[in-house]
Chain A
Amino acid sequence: MFRYIAARLALTIPMLLILLSLVFVILRILPGDPCLALLGGRNVTPEDIAQCRELLGLNRPILVQYLDYLGDAVRLDFGTSVRTGLPVAQELLLRFPATFELATAGMLGATLLGLASGVYASVRRDRRADHVIRVLNIASFAMPIFWIGLMFLMLFAVRWRLFPAGGRLDPVAAAFFVPITNIYTLDTLLRGDLKLFVSAVRHLFLPALTLAIVVSGFIGRMTRSSMLEVLDREYVTVARAKGLHERKVISRHALANALIPIVTVVGLQFALLMAGAILTETVYSWPGIARYLLESISSRDFTAIQGAVVFIAFFISAVNLLVDVLYARLDPRIRF
């Protein structure tokens, strides 16, 4: 197991290097001058531009810039934000727990929805329920996530007032709340404040559900096809033949074996989830990484943009690594 993790880690490094280079190419080599973006383009003298390029180190040879950039990224030094004057790394770490909380809750919901619909569809294969679920799955890929978010807001928050319309806590409570980990559902419990915990969960519910719906379609499809493959196997027939209850056959014999490919799909959807998070965070004013990236773009904070994108690249690589290791643990046939 240890050797496998080490081998997989060695594979992650070139991947990360390429991702970092890609970000560099997009942010530095593509046409579009960060200084011009930073200063806004109007009423800018060539001297301003020159000074800005000097400040950001953009007047050095591109290779030097590249190596410098890689060195900084590896040391997690993302520079200082022009907008807030704080180190970008610090700001990102402060916001990451919010994104993490949202993504985890969304993934949990998506997995539950996807497993349930996928197993049900496979059991009712080619019947009406199966077709309905299939069309719903197609529809779930086709939903603009920001639109679902806005619709939920309009119905559940504005019209029926069942859930709050955004943020992570009630504004008054949030003003006095001192977070510990910045994962609010956890922090409120650690502080032993049940009322605040309920508030945190209520704030989390709609954004998490929005994310879950979009990702659940992929998991549902994968579950169905993986289940169908397993349901044809002899051991399932044997389990039925020895008189096991159908529910037990499905859960213990079929689903347990069908889970392995599903786990990989769930893991790979994390990229999709992050893309969804950027829109969900916008719609629900959720103060996470993605929102930070957008704010940085609109205030033309180049250092922060670069830091946020690199941070997301790191995060995605870490998740992919984790999924592979988990996969190896789940499937005893994979050994190194």
Chain B
Amino acid sequence: MLRLRRDYLLLSGMVIVGLVGAVTLLAPLLAPFDPTLPTDGERLQPPGRPYYMGTDQLQRDVFSRVIHGGRVPMLVALISCALSLLLGTTLGWIAGYAGGRLDRVLSLVMDAIYSFPALILAIAIVAMLGPGLANMTAAIAFVYIPTYFRVARGQVLAVRTQEFVEAARALGASGSRTLLRHIAPNTLAAVMTVPSFNIADAILTEAALSFLGFGLPPPTPDWGFDIQNGQKFLQAGYWWLITFPGLMIILLSVGFGMIGEGVNDRLNPRRRRLV
């Protein structure tokens, strides 16, 4: 079904996400040290043995922190993405199918949210709700709802005039049955191209939020927060504190991005020619 030459993006994306995901899941087994406790090494020791990525200012092992640091971003990105998928798609279906005033109002609201910089909106929400895992997840979920809304609504509009919908109605199907059994399934292919890009983006937003200090309090390892911590020692040349967590964020985000591209290529062959 998948071929190496044709689906190189999808396959490499899956390998990357699989690897980072496995490391994140198995973090407690893989990490050589406790990520939150000082080791016997010196402060700010450069990478070497036994601290492969050096130590930070509290003598903690950076390697162990990097291995653990993906747990919060992964969790937040996956849950928030699932929430916005659920809410955005449902609202999109309703707006597209109902049409009329409801559609106009919903579309306008969604467009307004969409036009606003997602990160700034998320910052405003977290600033009011307070930092923490649940609030961060809620903020990120909220800002990505319009993405799903737009795709789902557009698809409903494209599908609802087709003959099989008319046939279903003629056979006496109710409005909700027509929408859920006949229209909605035909929009899913398009909706499903969104999540991997969305997760890639959500990981960056989570990283930015925790970089700015809206995430979990220390000493929880989190790539974004660890970069903020490393920033303080940048002028002195302690490069390992920020380099490794950043590379992990990029790796994970690129992985999801590649999956998104690959899925897009498969579901939308015409687009492949153009994009």
Please list the residues of chain A having a beta carbon within 8 angstroms of any beta carbon in chain B: 14-15, 18-19, 22-23, 26-27, 30-32, 34, 37, 138-139, 141-147, 150-151, 153-154, 158-159, 165, 221, 224-225, 228-229, 271-272, 274-275, 278-279, 282-283, 290, 293-294, 297-298, 305, 309, 312-313, 316-317, 320
With contact pairs A15-B111, A22-B112 given, residues A151 and B257 touching in the complex (Cβ less than 8 Å): no
Flag if B112 contacts A15 (CB, 8 Å): yes
Complex: A309 Cα to B127 Cα, angstroms? 12
Q: Which residue of A lies closest to B200 (CB)?
A: A142
Residues of the B chain whose Cβ atoms lie less than 8 Å from the Cβ of A27: 124, 128
- Given the contacts A15-B115, A18-B109, A151 and B200 also touching, CB distance less than 8 Å: no
**Bound state CA distance, A225 and B274, in angstroms?**
5
CB of B250 within 8 A of CB of A293, answer no
Can you add 4 more A-B contacts, CB < 8 Å, to A27-B128, A142-B257?
A: A15-B115, A274-B117, A278-B117, A297-B127
Set of chain B residues within 8 Å of A146, measured between Cβ atoms: 207-208, 211, 227
- B117: A residues at CB distance < 8 A: 271-272, 274-275, 278, 312, 316
CA distance A52 to B234 in the complex (A): 41
Q: Interface residues of A: mostly helix, strand, loop or mixed? A: helix
* Cβ–Cβ contact A150 & B234, under 8 A: yes
| The stretch of B25-33, B173-181, B184-192, B241-249 that contacts the partner chain | B241-249
Query: Can you name 14 A-B pairs with beta carbons within 8 Å?
Result: A18-B109, A23-B124, A26-B124, A141-B253, A144-B204, A147-B242, A221-B275, A271-B117, A275-B118, A279-B119, A283-B231, A297-B127, A309-B124, A312-B116
B130 within 8 A of A: yes
Q: With CB as the reference atom, state the residue of chain B lying closest to A274.
A: B117
- Name the CB-closest residue of A to B201: A141
- Known A-B contacts A141-B200, A151-B243; the reply to A309 vs B250 at CB < 8 A is no
Which B residues from 225 to 275 make CB contacts under 8 A with A? 227, 230-231, 234-235, 237, 239, 242-243, 246, 249-250, 253-254, 256-258, 261, 273-275
A15-B115, A271-B117, A316-B116 in contact; A225/B235 too (CB < 8 A)?
no
A142 touches B204 (CB 8 A): yes
Tell which of B120, B254, B273, B275 touches A309, judged by Cβ atoms closer than 8 Å: B120
A76 to B115, CA, bound (A): 21
User: In the complex, which of the residues B130, B246, B261 contacts A32, with contact meaning CB atoms closer than 8 Å?
Assistant: B130
Chain B contact residue count (CB 8 A cutoff): 50
* A333 CA to B117 CA, complexed, in Å: 30
In chain B between 156 and 173, which residues have their CB closer than 8 angstroms to a CB of chain A?
A: none
- How far, in Å, is B193 (CB) from chain A's closest CB? 15
- The distance from the CB of B102 to the nearest CB of chain A, in whole angstroms, is 15
Contact, CB under 8 Å: B128 / A32: yes
Given contacts A147-B242, A278-B120, whether A26 and B128 have CB atoms under 8 Å apart is yes
B252 nearest CB neighbor, chain A only = A142
User: Would you call B115 and A271 a contact (CB within 8 A)?
Assistant: yes
Question: Pick the contact of A14 from B108, B115, B201, B249 — CB < 8 Å?
Answer: B108
Q: Which residues of B contact A274 (CB under 8 A)?
A: 117, 120
Name B135's closest neighbour in chain A (CB-CB).
A32
Name B residues whose Cβ lies closer than 8 Å to a Cβ of A.
Answer: 9, 108-109, 111-113, 115-121, 123-125, 127-130, 200-201, 204, 207-208, 211-213, 224, 227, 230-231, 234-235, 237, 239, 242-243, 246, 249-250, 253-254, 256-258, 261, 273-275
Instruction: Give the distance in Å from the alpha carbon of A297 to the alpha carbon of B130 in the complex.
Output: 11
Q: How far is the CA of A332 from the CA of B68 in the complex (A)?
A: 56
Question: Measured between alpha carbons, how far is A320 from B117 in the docked complex, in Å?
Answer: 13
CB contacts (< 8 Å) of A158 on chain B: these are: 234-235, 237
Determine whether the beta carbon of B128 is less than 8 Å from that of A37: yes
With the chains together, A193 CA to B55 CA distance in Å? 46
Q: Are B115 and A293 in contact (CB under 8 A)?
A: no
Q: How far is the CA of A225 from the CA of B270 in the complex (A)?
A: 12
Listed from nearest, the 9 A-B pairs whose CB atoms lie closest are A142-B253, A275-B117, A147-B246, A275-B119, A32-B128, A18-B112, A142-B254, A297-B127, A225-B274
Is B207 a contact of A19 with CB atoms below 8 Å? Answer: no
A18 touches B208 (CB 8 A): no
> Quick one: closest A residue to B12, CB to CB?
A135
In the bound complex, what is the Cα–Cα distance between A45 and B207 (angstroms)? Answer: 36
Known: A142-B254, A275-B118, A279-B208. A26 touches B125 (CB 8 A): yes
Q: How far is the CA of A279 from the CA of B207 in the complex (A)?
A: 11
**Taking the nearest CB of chain A, how far is it from the CB of B83, in angstroms?**
16
B112–A153 touching, CB < 8 Å: no
Min CB distance, B143 to chain A, in Å? 10
Q: With A and B bound together, what is the CA distance between A30 and B121 in angstroms? A: 13
